[in-house]
Every structure is written in C-alpha cells, then in structure tokens.
Amino acid sequence: MYLLELAGDDADPFAVCEARTRCSAVERLAPGLATARGVDTATVGTLAYTRRVCRLVGTCSPDIAAAAATLEAASVDRTGTVAVRARDVRGLADIDTQAAERRLGSVLVDRGFEVDLDAPDHTLVALFSADAAAVGWLSTETTRDFTDRRPTDKPFFQPGSMDPMDARAVANIAGAAPNVRILDPMCGTGGILVEAGLAGATPVGVDAQPKMVSGARQNLDHYLTDGAVLRGDATRLPFADDSFDGAVFDAPYGRQSKIEGQSLATLVGEALEEVRRVAGRTVLIADRPWNEAADAAGWTVAERFDRRVHGSLTRYIHVLR
C-alpha cells in the first residue's frame, strides 16, 4: 500500500481523480491524504495535485503518541541511515512537527538506525491531518516546478491562460503519459500542450486564430522537443478516426458568445462530436456546465469538478468517456 499527500487546499476529489491516472485503487483517507494499492513509479512524479508518495507503514489517529505506537508495531525491512519528516497537512492537526520528528526518530534509533539529516538512506514521513495520520517511507516527491512556467513568463502570453499546475492535472486526466498522443483542439497559447508534453505525451494542438497558432508554437518550442500546432477548425479536425489517445480543451468563455458567426453552444456541441471521432476520452474545461451538450454528442460525463478560480469565474471540468 502507498500513502499520497495531496496538494491544494480543497481539491481532494480532483486530486484523487488525477492520482488514479498513475495509481490504482486510490481512496481518500483524510483532508490532504489518500491511499493507493499500486503506483506507476516511472510516471507518478509528473502528478500535479500529489506532492509525495510513500510506502505506507500504517494509519492512526492524528496525534504523536498514536504515530509512534504505529511505527513501534510495524515491521521494518530496511537498514541504513534515516531522517524523519513530519507535516501538519494544511495546518489542520495542530501538531508540533518537531516534537513528532524527535519522537519517531527515537523509535527508529531504538531499532538500531542512525540519523542522518543531510543524506539519509531512507526518509520516514509522518503526515497529520484533521481526521487521521499516516506514516510511510518516502518513495517519490513529485516535481514542483510549476512557478517556472507561469503564463506571464512564457514567450507568448494572453490573459486568461490556465495556471500550469491545473493544466498539468487536466492533461494527466486526459491520459498524458509516455507513448500517448494528446489533442487540444482549441489550444490557445498552448499551456495544456506544454504540460502534456512535460508529462511525456506527444501533444498536438489546433486553433482557428493564426496569432494563437504562432504563439502556441513559440511556447512549445521553448519547453519541448516534440509536438505540433496547426491552424484549423475544432468542428472539422484534419485527423483520421481514433488518431489520439485522449483530448483536452478549454472552451471559449461566455464573453465570447459569437465565434466567427457560430453560437457558443453550436461550437462546443460540434467540437465535442468531432473530438469523439478522433479520441476515446476527453476533458472539457468551461465556465459553465456542458453536460447536456456532452450527452448529445455521445459522451458520458464520468465526473465533473466545479472549481472556483475567483469571484467571477468557476471552472467546470468535465471528464468524458
């Protein structure tokens, strides 16, 4: 079993959905914590809403004595030097993390381990949340470099661009991984394409506006060595049936009620039909629910996440199968 520390302040269902693209049998344990039965160790490091993955030692109530008792009762099949890290996840447990590290460290010293805080052979992680705590041996820490790709720092920027952490998550949910082709039929500045490519996929973007096509190409060339951007119509894609493993796109928002003579509803509905022809699954992001349009296009809305961005914008993330 594995222990996952989830990122975000209130995004656990969304984080669990993303984690299931790299892990099996993921279940939420407590705010900010989840367990998994299996992990793809080669790709789990590309998750956006999972901070770290540990081999689970055990779970308990969220207090130091219970964590120490859990560790004392567990068998330990490793040797070498250790360090202990304790975290009060989201500040919900009101735990003295230094006291927790000392107490758990003493348990390990009693078992013959030597402490090495600089370059330990193994790191024990204790995560305390509101309803539970968990102890595990650190396996993977995910890459947290999203601030390096802030939209305003990219070669091409337009207002309204999605945050890279969210773009990575939706790309992963769409299936981004090595040896996978991911389509964004309304790619805009290419932020989702960049994150899909950094997750190992081959990204292909389409956009109707020459300015966006040129800008998205600049961004892909800056961050990736693979991928393509074409000018085209999301409702008439220049690809054969089943050309892609997955698709993801951020539909135009309400302020763009007319797009080259089409109503927004017509554009989104026809795009959903066309994407279904070329890809077996997709993630649709929008500023409103599009469940009925997805159903009419032949999709099943497997999950939907309503995520508030700020006072005037909620993103509706539809996971379609």
pLDDT of the residue at 259: 55
The residue segments making up the domain with residue 129 are 2-141
Do 32 and 177 belong to one domain? no
Question: What CATH number is given to the structural domain containing 316?
Answer: 3.40.50.150
The CA-based angle 25-203-216, given to 5 degrees, is 130
136 shares its domain with 154: no
pLDDT for position 258: 46
| In the predicted structure, residue 98 carries a pLDDT above the cut 80 | yes
Burial class (CB in 10 A: 0-12, 13-18, 19+), 264: buried
Same domain, 156 and 263: yes
- CA distance to 3, 56, 150, 244, 313, per residue, from 38 (Å): 10, 11, 32, 26, 36
Q: Which among 124, 141, 158 is the end of a domain?
A: 141
Tell me the per-residue pLDDT of 244-271, one tens digit each, with 9 for 90 and over. 999 999 999 875 444 556 789 999 999 9
Q: Are 41 and 74 in contact (CB under 8 A)?
A: no
pLDDT in tens, 134-178: 999 999 999 999 999 999 999 999 998 999 999 999 999 999 999
Q: Are 131 and 155 part of one and the same domain?
A: no
At residue 165, the pLDDT reads 98
Confidence of residue 16 (pLDDT cuts 50, 70, 90): very high
Flag whether pLDDT at 308 surpasses 70. Answer: yes
Task: Return the C-alpha torsion angle 219, 225, 227, 231, nearest 10.
Answer: 50
> Does 116 lie in the same domain as 93?
yes
Overall average pLDDT of the 195-200 stretch: 98
pLDDT (average), residues 211-219 = 98
Distance of CA 176 to the CA centre of its chain: 10
> CA 63 to CA 69: how far, in whole Å?
10
Task: Determine the average pLDDT of the residues in 107-111.
Answer: 96
Q: What is the CATH number of the domain that holds 33?
A: 3.30.2130.30
What is the predicted pLDDT for the residue at 30?
Answer: 97
Distance of alpha carbon 234 from alpha carbon 204, whole angstroms: 12
How confident is the model at residue 85, as a pLDDT?
Answer: 98
Choose the final residue of a domain: 141, 163, 179: 141
Of 60, 49, 9, 57, the residue nearest 26 (C-alpha): 49
Q: What 8-state DSSP symbol labels residue 277? A: H
Last residue of a domain, one of 141, 161, 192: 141
Q: Are residues 188 and 212 both part of a single domain?
A: yes
Specify whether 112 is located in the same domain as 241: no
Count how many domains the chain has: 2
What is the model's pLDDT at position 262? Answer: 72
247 within 8 A of 273, measured Cβ to Cβ:
no
**Is it the case that residue 201 has pLDDT exceeding 60?**
yes
Mean pLDDT on 36-49: 98
Same domain, 167 and 309: yes
Q: In this structure, how many other beta carbons lie within 10 angstroms of the beta carbon of residue 65? A: 11
At 261 the pLDDT is 61
Same domain, 94 and 210: no
Residue 255: the pLDDT is 53
Residues 152 and 105 in one domain: no
Q: Report yes or no on whether pTM surpasses 0.85.
A: yes
| 159 CB burial (10 A radius; 0-12, 13-18, 19+) | exposed
* DSSP-derived secondary structure for 59-90: EE-SSHHHHHHHHHHS-----SEEEEEEEEGG
Q: b/e per residue, 181-207, with b = 16+ CB within 10 A?
A: bbbbbbbbbbbbbbbbbbbbbbbbbbb
Same domain, 110 and 215: no
Do 135 and 153 have their domain in common? Answer: no
